[in-house]
Amino acid sequence: MAARVGAYEAKTNLSKLLDRVERGESIVITRHGVPVARLVRVESNSERPVSEIIAEMRRISDNLTLGGLSIRELIEEGRRY
């Protein structure tokens, strides 16, 4: 069963709550006693190197267009004004 914490307590003790979640605990945040959110540990699917992620983002952005203009062209167009 997940621990319950009020919104005010969650706000003032976020760092401590994150430590608890990092150790595997699940925490439900309530507002006036009503559950509104759940803090849970994120399980990583893969440990990809940052350089690989950045390269993928660059490949994706190279192919994006808006009205036939690339992101680079839009940036340059914006600098003219």
Instruction: Encode pLDDT of 5-54 as tens digits.
Output: 999 999 999 999 999 999 999 999 999 999 999 999 987 766 778 898 88
- Average pLDDT over every residue of 69-79: 80
Give how many domains the chain has, as a whole number: 2
Indicate the pLDDT class of residue 65, thresholds 50, 70 and 90.
low
Inside any domain, residue 59 = yes
On whether both 35 and 11 belong to a single domain, the answer is yes
| Cut 0.85: pTM above it | no
How far is it, in rounded angstroms, from Cα 17 to Cα 8? Answer: 12
Inside any domain, residue 35 = yes
Q: Which domain holds residue 33?
A: 3-39
- Structure tokens, 50: 């940052």
Residue 75 vs residues 3, 41, 54, 69: alpha-carbon distances, Å:
48, 38, 19, 10
